[in-house]
Chain A
Amino acid sequence: MTNSQFQMSAAEAEQPPVVTASGDIDLANVNEFSDVLNRAAADSDAITVDLSEVTYCDSAAVRALFAVAATTKLGLIVPATGTIITLLNISGLDRVATVVTRD
């Protein structure tokens, strides 16, 4: 895994900044994930996080997403099936973020 695992694209026109993650998000790299989320949220009152290429994420990622959703309007793009959407449902993160599913 390299730094390119978490990419940020700046806000444009009406669209908020987008953080695109890939691979596994766990305790090993969650700080890096949080940093990118915070940077994206710093200049914007809304961000979108694209998790559709994420292969695994656990409690650490859920905590990071709750933390950023506490101060920012959060949009999530996730695979339509699999563990991530299940995790969002169990945690209730899907009740406070706008979730878009992608096949």
Chain B
Amino acid sequence: MAPPHFQPHQHPQLMALLHRILERIQFDHLDAVGLAITVHDKRHDEVPSVLAAIGVGADVAEAQLAGIGGPVPDALAYQVPVLSPDLWTDDRWPELTLATMNDRAPQHESIWEQVHGAAAVPGVWADDATVVVCCTLSQPASAATVASLINYEQLVSAALITTAAENASAIADIITVLQSRGAIEQAKGALMGLVRCDAEHAWRMLRRASQEFNVKLRELAVALVEHISGAPAEQPDTGTPITPDKRTREAARLMWAALSEAPLPQ
């Protein structure tokens, strides 16, 4: 996994690569007026920040993250792709308007007038670190915009994962992250069903439990899925499967019991 305090912006090669990926997206979407890659590393209680951007991408993403709301913070919070055919008139973010952006960044007034659609696609690149690739268009955005960004998000996440690994264990780390992605998604889903909460809340519960019990988050996720289903968690065929130890399994059992209001079956 990533060494402590891995700071993506301190890696010039990574930054150059991310910039090239953004240029590539721009080439695919000639109507893009802004593109941005936002990262949120929750391991150090950092707030989300824009890592790389072209055009007005940074201005748009930073405005959304400053409390105005928009596809970028929603994609981060809910971990789903977010599409807006017309950003300034979207009823999901009433504060995100042409007037707001003209106030915040009047130097781009002529560009703000052109803006129509936007899309943001999230990904996970370490246990507790997420990324969102977002684009803002002068045309309405469509499902095809999202489908295209989904492909680029995988490139961006792969670049972050390999740089974070920074050594010969890079491939093992990539596989571990991919395995965690599956197990953590499943565990989050189970928690969302049990306590009827959103993905962000489920994520926080998992994180808090892993800290309280002092067990690895990905192992707790696997243990939790296996505890609930009574069957092995879904994991890719490649790599060494994540096998939680006894202490982690006990933590999963306690967590599930504490959250279940009804007595446990069996």
Interface residues of chain A, those whose CB is within 8 Å of chain B, are 24, 26-28, 55-56, 58-60, 62-63, 66-67, 69-71, 74, 83, 87, 89-93, 95-97
Which residues on B sit within 8 Å (CB–CB) of A74?
Answer: 143
CA A67 to CA B234, docked complex, whole Å: 23
Would you call B78 and A95 a contact (CB within 8 A)?
Answer: no
Q: Which of B74, B79, B147 is packed against the most chain A CB atoms within 10 Å?
A: B147
Q: Is B182 on the interface with A (CB-CB < 8 A)?
A: yes
Please pick, from B71, B90, B143, B185, the residue contacting A96 in the complex, using a CB distance under 8 A. B143
Would you call A96 and B81 a contact (CB within 8 A)?
Answer: no
Which residues on A sit within 8 Å (CB–CB) of B186?
Answer: 26-28
Count how many chain B residues have C-beta atoms less than 8 Å from C-beta atoms of the other chain. Answer: 30
Assuming the A-B contacts A27-B185, A27-B234, A28-B186, are A66 and B82 also in contact, with contact meaning beta carbons closer than 8 angstroms in the complex?
A: no
Q: Is B172 on the interface with A (CB-CB < 8 A)?
A: no
CA A27 to CA B92, docked complex, whole Å: 27
- Smallest beta-carbon distance A65→chain B, Å: 8
Q: A55-B193, A60-B185, A91-B81 are in contact. List 15 more A-B contacts (CB 8 A).
A: A26-B185, A27-B186, A58-B80, A58-B188, A59-B80, A59-B81, A62-B81, A66-B83, A66-B143, A67-B147, A70-B142, A70-B148, A95-B85, A96-B85, A96-B143
Please pick, from B71, B85, B122, B199, the residue contacting A58 in the complex, using a CB distance under 8 A. B199
Closest CB pairs A-B (n = 4): A69-B143, A92-B83, A70-B147, A70-B144
Would you call A96 and B83 a contact (CB within 8 A)?
Answer: yes
Which residues on A sit within 8 Å (CB–CB) of B147?
Answer: 66-67, 70
Q: Which of B122, B144, B189 is packed against the most chain A CB atoms within 10 Å?
A: B189
Q: Is B25 on the interface with A (CB-CB < 8 A)?
A: no
CA A72 to CA B250, docked complex, whole Å: 47
CA A56 to CA B214, docked complex, whole Å: 30
